[in-house]
Amino acid sequence: MEDDVERVLIAEDVIDKRLDVLARHIEKDFPGEVIQVVVLLKGALVFAADLTRRLPRMLEIECINVASYHGGMETTGTVNFLDHKLPEVKGRQVLVLDDILDTGLTLKAVVDRLKEEGAAQVKTAVLLAKDKERNADVEADYVGFFIGDEFVIGYGLDYQGRYRNLPYVGTLKPEAV
């Protein structure tokens, strides 16, 4: 697996330090509230596990399965809610966690749906945000790192279901694709 990595973009220790900063910002923005955390599967699992352990408060954590990449390297442009039932969010303070903000279609679809379900507040945190124009009018409230418009793997991000368990964010060698 390591042989397939072209370069490490963001090292494990750098991610660790940034998560401490994100947690402090989130903690400040949700004073005294129980936070309903909604994790977008599967890419945000590693990010969510590491970030939520840094939040010293009562959390309720739910996962929803949405897809727009379907195993490829580019979004299909369609967001599919693979779970038919969303967590109960009516009147709740919600924090959506996602791995990467690319076109914005997935994050916007999820935020809009949670607001339709009656969430009192919806804030979003992403590990990565691509520095590019988005197809949807959405930006994350909390961003771990801004990156260029390139395909990345590791720390939850995958290529065809693989490389999620790398402890850093990197790029693949062309022959690995």
Q: Please give the positions annotated as active site.
A: 102
Helices and strands of the chain, counted as H and E runs = 3, 8
Two tokens, residue 21? 């900063």
Give the C-alpha distances (Å, rounded to integers) separating 8 from 143, 171, 172.
Answer: 19, 7, 9
Residue 75 near residue 68, CB atoms below 8 Å: yes
Token code pair at residue 60:
């309720």
Burial of 128 (0-12, 13-18, 19+ CB in 10 A): buried
Asked if residues 1 and 167 have their Cβ atoms less than 8 Å apart, the reply is no
Separation of alpha carbons 106 and 166, rounded Å: 24
Cα distance between residue 105 and residue 72, in whole Å: 16
